[in-house]
Amino acid sequence: MFHKEGRTIILLTFFLVGISVLLTHFYVDINWLKWVLYGFLLSILILILQFFRNPKRTVKKSFDEILAPVDGKVVVIEEVYEPEYFEDKRLQVSVFMSPINVHVTRYPCSGSVTYSKYHPGEYLVAWHPKSSERNERTTVVVNTPKFGDILFRQIAGAMARRIINYATKGEQVQQGEDSGFIKFGSRVDLYLPLDSNIQVALGQTVKGSITCIATARTKNEGK
């Protein structure tokens, strides 16, 4: 299954690849070059199809867990100052997506959307330290029963040129539902309470709506 954000691009790609195959067939006389061009065109089609895939996943919803919002690799786990919404310290967990990852952004938790904002910006590489402050991005905050406010931020990368955000302030959302899409390379930052139990490690590969990023600390653990 493919994501709705890719329908136009997929149809256009099929059309252009089809036309190119016909032109190659009728106008390229060198046999080896013809097959090289066929292979190149097929590779482009496969790349577009895999980029916009939207695998359906069974989500075990839990108020006690924050799930990965996207597929990718954990590149940051650190305590930082979050200036836009919290204006205090939070635990930041960042997941970097390569062009071959699924690029659907899913809600990491269930609750009520209390904040949703788009920020225009630059297109630094997604792993750049300043990308979360200077790149094009969206910020969404979901209020949850166990963790309180959870912030996640979609960040455009060097290749990304469009961020899609479905979150609307005041709506009730469910863990695992689609919250947006980032086209062609990006990263997502999660900002969690300082007492959260982080369940992932740097360099770990995670899957959206499947991998647990953090659990809520119990009262006994806090003693």
Q: How far apart are CA 17 and CA 4, in angstroms?
A: 20
Q: Which of 50, 44, 49 shows the shortest CA–CA distance to 17?
A: 44
- For the question of residue 186 being annotated catalytic, the response is yes
* Residue 209, φ and ψ in degrees, nearest 5: 70, 10
Q: How far apart are CA 192 and CA 141, in angstroms?
A: 11
Residue with tokens 């009262």: 219
Compute the C-alpha angle 156/158/163, nearest 5°: 25
Q: Count CB atoms within 10 A of the CB of residue 83.
A: 9
* 8 A C-beta contact, residue 163 and residue 154: yes
Q: Which of 210, 218, 182, 161 shows the shortest CA–CA distance to 62?
A: 210
- Tell me the torsion sign for CA atoms 143, 78, 103, 208: negative
Catalytic entry in 94, 116, 132, 186: 186
By annotation, the residues acting in catalysis are 186
